[in-house]
Structure 1
Amino acid sequence: MQTQPVEEQREGGREVCQSLEIRKNTYYDSVTLMLMSKEIKKMEGVREALIGMGTELNKALAVNLGMGDERIQALNPGDFFIAILWEKEDRMTKVIKRVDELLHEKKPSSALDYRPVTLDSAVKHTPDANLALISLPGKYVFEEARKALDLGLHVMLFSDNVSIEEEKQLKELAREKGLLMMGPDCGTAIINAVPLAFANVVRRGDIGIVGASGTGTQEVSVMIHKLGRGVSQVLGTGGRDLKREIGGIMMIEGIKALGEDENTKVIVLISKPPAPEVAEKMLQAAKDSKKPVVVNFIGGDMEMIEQYGMVPGLTLEDTAYKAVALSKGEAVKDMLGFMMSEEEIEAVVRRETKELKAGQRYLRGLYTGGTLCDEAMKLLTDAVGPIYSNIPLEEGYRLENVYRSYSHTCIDLGDDLFTLNRPHPMIDPSYRQERLKIELEDETVAVILMDFVLGYGSHPDPVGEMLPIMMEGKQKRQEKGLGTCFIASICGTEQDPQNLRKQEERLKEAGVVVMPSNAQAARMAAKILKRIL
């Protein structure tokens, strides 16, 4: 370990020094280390902290954080390092002690504690396993996924940064072997009641889902649960599966699997609008299943869906309502309104607009779920006009600078632009906290719209992480004579580790408008904005 001063210091000329600890050939999981960096940064006197492996991404991040030490640049991907910037006094000894405590925290012993270091040893240890969940840097994925398929394992591929050519090869191999290859960038699945990656605790039932959208699939499964029904299987495909280059290989295989599953009565398909020729293949496979199918193309071609005899889902919530109706043998109806009465809606609109001042006219949506962001923009555009975004509905409304909002703006914070070198915002909301502070400084902002996604894989207290920033910002704006309307929806159940009811109560106690679905939250935001525009 060495300590050395760094160049010019950023605040008030105070001296800031850098310390570095390197441990060669010592591996730790990257997500664990990212969360650890956040924990160490909270320590008194620590200005910046980076704890990680010597990957190229971490080397670049070190430079961006002002820690461009040549010793870091010389590290290999298998080398572990701790780098901090500190002020006033050397904190490195305390930092190292705390890092070691976090690394060696004892967890309850379990038969599941065995962690094989290779896929082959894992298969030998658990010969009855039939599925491999793979989460590796993209450049290592292809060989491991292919090996898993060759071993006869279904694959859920959580990793991103896999080329589309490699994805196609893997999915073609899986199809030849009669296996599922979910992903890459597959965020959620529930197989035989076992949740994988990001997933909610929902009851078992007779509705099967195949989704090319992670949070979209979660929203539908949660709404099905809230409506008193359950899911048989939830199969993720990865977001690119319905692109022309892939051809919907895994969506079609998923439909076939659910079609043959005796526990599945109704099938739900979720994706962004596919290429027309891919949509036709997918819908024909759905028709061949001989089961009732609800299809949500999230703004895609409704007529094509109906031509194939499928039921179109108009929103994620509407999709869940229709699937539940089919499951119960009831008539299918559109769900495009509110669960609240007109009087209750009007009371909310009056309350939320009374403190807004002239000049406050814009919406800012800060989403952890890309599909939830996309759905909200579609609903809002119809009501208040174009929405700017990093994932715009039309290319002309793409933000020139994704770090600064303009007019009405909705941001998908889970986009690759924001997750480079940091965990997904559902795991670590640090950047959403930073972005919220920026939005609350804008005196033209009237409405802040946010999602909170619960379940396995997500932060243990997403509401608790955001509430202090929300309340502090609201107080500062009140002192300036500005109103602030917060609207939220929570994707989760009371059985989730974070507990839906407790998360809702804390938001409501803080004066946040909590709506029962993402679609209803967007509609409420639209009603408030239309009142003040």
Structure 2
Amino acid sequence: MTDHLEVRSGAYYDSVSLMQVSRQVAGAPGVAAAQVAMATELNLDVIAGMGFSVPAGVQPNDLVVAIRAEDENGVASGLTALETALAALRSAGSQAGGFGEAPAPRTLGRAVAVGAANLALVSVPGQYATVEAYDAIDRGVSVMLFSDNVPVEDEVRLKDAAAARDILVMGPDCGTAVVAGVALGFANVVERGPVGIVAASGTGAQQAMALLDAAGLGVSHCLGVGGRDLSATVGGRSTRQALAALAADESTEAIIVVSKPPAAQVLADLEAYAGELGKPVHWATLGTGRPDLTAAVEAFLEARGQAVPTWPSWPAHDSRDPLDPLDAATGASGRYLRGLFCGGTLADEAMLVAGAQLGGIRSNIPLAPELALDADLRADDHVVIDFGDDGLTRGRAHPMIDPTLRLERVAAEGSDPTCGVLLLDLVLGHGAHPDPGPELADAIRGAREAARSGGRELPVVVSLTGTRGDPQDLAATAAALSAAGASVHLSNAEATRTALSLLSDLPADLLSDTDPLGGPR
């Protein structure tokens, strides 16, 4: 192997863009691994962990390029891919306008002042994000805080400061928003319409938008508020601001609030507040005994007097040859459900839906502390893993961009005789992998073949979140997954129930008298 490392001083790019650049470089012919990142402490630790020696004296505003290739030709291929990707970023920036001959602003606050913006997007490592967000708030503009790993105490202070200025902080860890038809972060392509969404969940918001799109309804705005906003600590601060903003918006006729399981008192307070706004507010807030996201959207449609459609699904196409010994599996199946997710809210929903039948499910984002997985993320039990959790994305692109870790686990489950059904999600839209279907289809095909070689069948179910307008092509992606042998569903709840139905001959001892949170029913 040949290693190449270089430092480019003062060449700043935002972290979201560099995630995509790293993936493009890593995919170049002859490249085994690549990391292109700003020289923050966290990124330097990741690069050092890859075995590269970073010279002393680099600064956070320096760009570090680390490429490991088969040979010098591979390095050259990676550098060519790097220059192409960076040129595309520069071109996109130049098309956005610019400021004539004036020097580029060196602070976020100055950029806001020069550009007359009313919304700032902050995407820097968490330890720097709070200062940048305060800079925007001081200028009187709302903030989409994409950054994660921001202390909850800072989140509360930022949101109080924003409320005092009558502006909104979306985040931290706000991955999805659509403002006046403009997609920010990970967001699907949706038509403009009468439905406003407030979302303490990125993939939950995307699931709601995908279902609304399938029902023929458009979205006025989708305002993310960060996954902790409905916690007892944060108290729904940004949700109140977002509800008020949508209530004042003439293009919004009705509002849906989407959330991971909220704190009970926070939800009750918000419901009382929403009742005073003068616009109908509907709740798609997950939790034991509460409707899943699909059921909540269906209730919303019924309340508007609109027919509930049959949600799109694509059956698995089994291409087995009964005369091929590799395909002549015994039909024996593993005992356990294994869910491998990129979306945390989709993983939460799957655990709530499946847990109603199976009891508590082990996870790295457990619904109860006693259900937490060990660091190796393995257990001879029902397991759901969120590969997009903060603990798995430090120094690494989100799995919606770089699915490597999840694909490795798909392969491992194919060879694990205890895995009875594999449940996966795939989320399309802006910001995500440009064409994730073929890679995941190959992984599914490989896992099923590995299972057959071990004498068992491995059913695979995919929850596919996307819209007709998404750049990855919803129908083509579904067809690729279906051809690989997966049952594909637009509704995550329907996908989970399908997976449960395929957990063949479920032994009585696998059914639990505990609820999804691990306590007695």
The residue type paired with residue 478 of structure 1 is R
Query: 1:258 & 1:93 partners in 2: Cα distance?
Result: 51
Aligned counterpart in structure 2 of residue 531 of structure 1, from 502, 505, 518: 505
**Superposition deviation, residue 38 in structure 1:** 3.8
Match of 2:518 in 1: none
Higher relative contact order (CA 8 A, sep 6+): 2
Q: Which structure 2 residues correspond to residues 451-470 of structure 1 after superposition, within 5 A?
A: 451-470=425-444
CA contact (8 A) 2:333 2:504 kept: no
| 1:428-461: CA deviation from partner (whole Å, max 9, x where unpaired) | 2122112212222212212111111111111111
**Superposition deviation, residue 49 in structure 1:** 3.1
Match of 1:143 in 2: 131
| 1:75-104: CA deviation from partner (whole Å, max 9, x where unpaired) | 322223333445566854554444334333
Match of 1:13 in 2: none
CA contact (8 A) 1:154 1:180 kept: yes
Query: 1:34 & 1:225 partners in 2: Cα distance?
Result: 29
Q: Secondary structure at the match of 2:194?
A: strand
Match of 1:199 in 2: 187
Q: Secondary structure at the match of 2:287?
A: coil
**TM-score normalised by L of structure 2:** 0.86
The answer as to 2:63 corresponding to 1:80 is yes
Moved more, 379-388 or 354-363: 354-363
Query: 1:512 & 1:264 partners in 2: Cα distance?
Result: 38
Query: 1:508 & 1:186 partners in 2: Cα distance?
Result: 31
| 1:204-256: CA deviation from partner (whole Å, max 9, x where unpaired) | 22222111111111111221121122222211111111222222111112222
- Structure 2: gaps spanning 5 or more residues: 99-103, 319-327, 508-521
Q: Secondary structure at the match of 2:442?
A: helix
Match of 1:123 in 2: 112
RMSD: 3.0
Match of 1:321 in 2: 298
Query: 1:526 & 1:213 partners in 2: Cα distance?
Result: 25
**Superposition deviation, residue 125 in structure 1:** 4.5
The residue type paired with residue 460 of structure 2 is F
Match of 2:413 in 1: 439
Q: Which structure 2 residues correspond to residues 231-242 of structure 1 after superposition, within 5 A?
A: 231-242=219-230
Match of 1:64 in 2: 49
CA contact (8 A) 2:262 2:287 kept: no
- Cα distance change on mapping 1:487 and 1:76 into 2, 3 Å: same
The residue type paired with residue 58 of structure 2 is L
- Cα distance change on mapping 1:298 and 1:143 into 2, 3 Å: same
Aligned counterpart in structure 1 of residue 15 of structure 2, from 21, 30, 36: 30
Query: 1:195 & 1:90 partners in 2: Cα distance?
Result: 38
Q: Secondary structure at the match of 2:430?
A: coil
**TM-score normalised by L of structure 1:** 0.84
Match of 1:307 in 2: none
Match of 1:266 in 2: 254
Query: 1:110 & 1:103 partners in 2: Cα distance?
Result: 12
Aligned counterpart in structure 1 of residue 232 of structure 2, from 221, 244, 252: 244
The answer as to 2:89 corresponding to 1:100 is no
- Cα distance change on mapping 1:176 and 1:100 into 2, 3 Å: same
CA contact (8 A) 2:175 2:224 kept: yes
| 1:280-330: CA deviation from partner (whole Å, max 9, x where unpaired) | 32111111123332212201575xxxxxxxxxxx01111111212223378
CA contact (8 A) 2:442 2:484 kept: no
The residue type paired with residue 182 of structure 1 is M
Q: Secondary structure at the match of 2:347?
A: helix
Query: 1:186 & 1:377 partners in 2: Cα distance?
Result: 22
Aligned counterpart in structure 2 of residue 156 of structure 1, from 140, 144, 150: 144
CA contact (8 A) 2:170 2:226 kept: yes
**Superposition deviation, residue 46 in structure 1:** 4.5
**Superposition deviation, residue 200 in structure 1:** 1.1
Q: Secondary structure at the match of 2:155?
A: helix
- Cα distance change on mapping 1:154 and 1:356 into 2, 3 Å: farther
Moved more, 517-526 or 188-197: 188-197
Match of 1:178 in 2: 166
The number of residue pairs the alignment matches comes to 492
Match of 2:217 in 1: 229
Query: 1:147 & 1:109 partners in 2: Cα distance?
Result: 22
Q: Secondary structure at the match of 2:433?
A: coil
The answer as to 2:273 corresponding to 1:288 is no
Q: Secondary structure at the match of 2:275?
A: helix
Query: 2:366 & 2:441 partners in 1: Cα distance?
Result: 28
The residue type paired with residue 386 of structure 1 is G
